[in-house]
Amino acid sequence: MLDDGRIFLLGDPMPSAFDITAYHLFWFIKVNFENETNDFFPELSQPRLVSWFQRIAALGHGTSIDITAEEAFKIAKQVEPSAPNYID
């Protein structure tokens, strides 16, 4: 995985939803099966995968603010929808 030099799973310069989804799977395994990870999932210790894992973790969770439902709807109404991006 990532042996071809990609820094993110789909080869884009920025992480995709696929990276975020895969990260959570690996995170779950590492956190809940820490002692067994090296024995049963040695691939998770590959340097490129460890670097990828650290890059995704560094994205963080963003900043949240408390708003009312009415404020959320007002913001949503002001946003222009974007065209979906498809993977070929």
- The whole-number pLDDT of residue 14 equals 92
The domain segmentation of the chain, as residue ranges, is 17-78
Q: Which comes out higher in pLDDT, residue 52 or 33? A: 52
- The whole-number pLDDT of residue 88 equals 61
Decide if pLDDT at 73 tops 90: yes
- The whole-number pLDDT of residue 87 equals 66
- The DSSP secondary structure of the chain, one letter per residue, reads --TTS-SSTTS-SS--HHHHHHHHHHHHHHHHSHHHHHHH-GGGG-HHHHHHHHHHHHT---------HHHHHHHHHHPPP-PPP---
Q: pLDDT (tens digit, 9 = 90+) per residue, 4-40?
A: 989 999 999 999 999 999 999 989 988 888 788 778 7
Residue type for 68, please? T
Residue the block writes with tokens 């990260």: 23
